[in-house]
Structures are given as C-alpha cells and as structure tokens.
Amino acid sequence: MSKQESFFDRFLSRANQTVVLVAGIVGIAVSLGLYQVTHNGGSDDPDDDKEVVTPVPDPDDTKVPTCYDGMRNGKETGVDCGGNCPPCPPPLPTCSDKIRNGNEEGVDCGGNCPPCEPKGAFTNLERIIEESTGRLTKTSGGKNWNGGASSVKVLPAGTAGGVSYTLKSSDGHFLFGLSPIAGDAGFQSVKYALAVQPGTGAKVQVNVFESGINRTKRDSRTGVRTSIHRAANGQITYTVDGMRVTDVPAANYTGSLLLDLSINHGGVSGLTMEGGWR
C-alpha cells in the first residue's frame, strides 16, 4: 500500500509542477502582451465568472490590404504584391520599351516598373493642385487656358530628352510641351507643345502648337502614345502613335528646357519625362 501511495504522490507532485510551469509560461506571455486575460461573465453565479486566456490580435492584421484589388496600398511594394502579399515579380522587359503597357501607371513607370514622377515634380502651380499620385488637376477658372505648371527638373542645354504621354479619355483638355522658361498659365507661353482634346468615345484630337500657333492637327484615339523630343543637336520632334509629325517646320533649340503645361479644364496624369532631366 505504501508503494501505491508513493506512486500517486509522485504523480501528483509532477502534475502540480506541470501546472505551475504552464501557468508561468502563460504569465510571461500575458506580460509580453502576446495573450490577454478576459472574463466570460454574464451570470449571477460568481462561480461562472472565469478567466479566459486568448491571443492578443495583431493590430496589423486589421490593416492587411487585399492582394487582389488592383491597387497599391497597405504595405505593398507593387500593385497587389510585396509586403503582406505575394512577392513582386522582377521588372519586366516592358519597363524599357517606351510604351505604357501591363499594369504601368505611366510610360515605363509605376506598377511593376520603377515609380512614376512623385508628387513634388511640378512648381509654379496656378489654379492647379498636384495630388499625391502626381496627377495635376485644375481647381478653378472655368474652361479657359488659365491653369498652368512647370517641372522642377530641367533638361540641360545640349542634352537629349523629352516628354511622353499616352492618350486617355479620363483626362481633360490640356497642352504640354517644352519651354526655355516657365511662362504664364496660358498655352501661348509653351514654346513646343502638343494639345490634347478628348472627343466622344475613344476619339482624341492632338494638335501641335508652337508659342500659341497651331501648326497641325491629328485625329487619334485613347491608348496612343504621343511625345515631344529634343535631340542633342537641338532638333524638336513630335510623334503620335510612333509616327513623326512631318508637316511641322523643323524646330531647333539647344538651350535648357522645362516641362511646361497649361490646362483648360479637367486634369492630367501619366506625363513621363525621358532622357537627361536633372
């Protein structure tokens, strides 16, 4: 009988040690904030009010963005990838093809490509705000050529570079181009420019303007890439859908240039600066 009592004594002793060890671990977890102690009260019987130990919710769990909403948000480093979502794929070859495709937000930028020009890329804002996405939106002045802005960066003298834009029906009526200095908000002050005027459906009209003079017109459509490029020798070239606008007199300017624009109404996003801008 004494041997049996000794066995149970040892069993109970070890059981008590286990309970103490578990209680100690739970206490440490609670003190570290990993678990929380709550009560399942609600009954008139005090014996029914028992402590319940549950994990503390991770505050980040309530902020995890959806990984399939087509937007870059939360901790994502790309659109629906990175952070708490699956890893982003490596940059695609399309990030250097000078065409806006895939999930790019501009030509060869945004999405899985390097970021587009961030907010703060423009100055001399007149009746225009620059949103956090980089979009420029006219805020007042009605449908008139009285909203303007110019780039912070400069295309140095004798340096090749330019600006491209993919036509979108979601943007307004505006004009963008290259100017030696930041002029007023009107379109006449933009020395070499393309004016974009969305039409019905997918139709978009593109006009070439030089210092306010309309040189030629092109009927185009959404999704078409347009650009103004200055070569190192100063030659200015306008292209629409990869085709050079040949009936415009050859323009040449070798000095420093700014990206200059004027908005009649609406806004614009996706202007991409290419070449040796500084």
Do residue 51 and residue 127 come from a single domain? no
In terms of residue numbers, what domain contains 164?
A: 122-275
Range in 59-68, 142-151, 186-195, 197-206 with the lowest mean pLDDT: 59-68
- Whether residues 48 and 166 share a domain: the answer is no
130 and 236 both lie in a single domain:
yes
Kindly indicate the confidence band of residue 70, based on its pLDDT and cuts at 50, 70 and 90.
confident
Return d(Cα 126, Cα 66) in angstroms, integer.
37
DSSP letter (8 states) at residue 89: P
Q: Are 149 and 128 contacting, i.e. CB atoms less than 8 angstroms apart?
A: yes
Cα separation of 196 and 104, whole Å? 21
Q: Domains in the chain: how many in total?
A: 2
More confident residue, 264 or 7: 264
Claim to verify: residue 170 and residue 49 sit in the same structural domain: no
Instruction: Pull the structure tokens for residue 174.
Output: 């505006």
Confidence of residue 1 (pLDDT cuts 50, 70, 90): very low
Clarify whether residues 141 and 266 are in a common domain. Answer: yes
Say if residue 131 is in the same domain as residue 33: no
**Are residues 42 and 152 part of one domain?**
no
Q: Are residues 46 and 166 in the same domain?
A: no
pLDDT, average across residues 99-119: 69
In a domain, 39, yes or no: yes
pLDDT above 70 (res 81)? yes
Q: Residue 163 pLDDT > 50, yes or no?
A: yes
Please check whether residue 132 is in contact with residue 119, taking contact to mean a CB–CB distance below 8 angstroms. yes
Q: Which amino acid is at 89?
A: P
**Same domain for 126 and 51:** no
Assess if residue 205 is contained within a domain. yes
Q: What is the pLDDT of residue 68?
A: 82
Domain assignment of residue 62, yes or no: no
Using the predicted structure, report yes or no on whether residue 41 has a pLDDT greater than 90: no
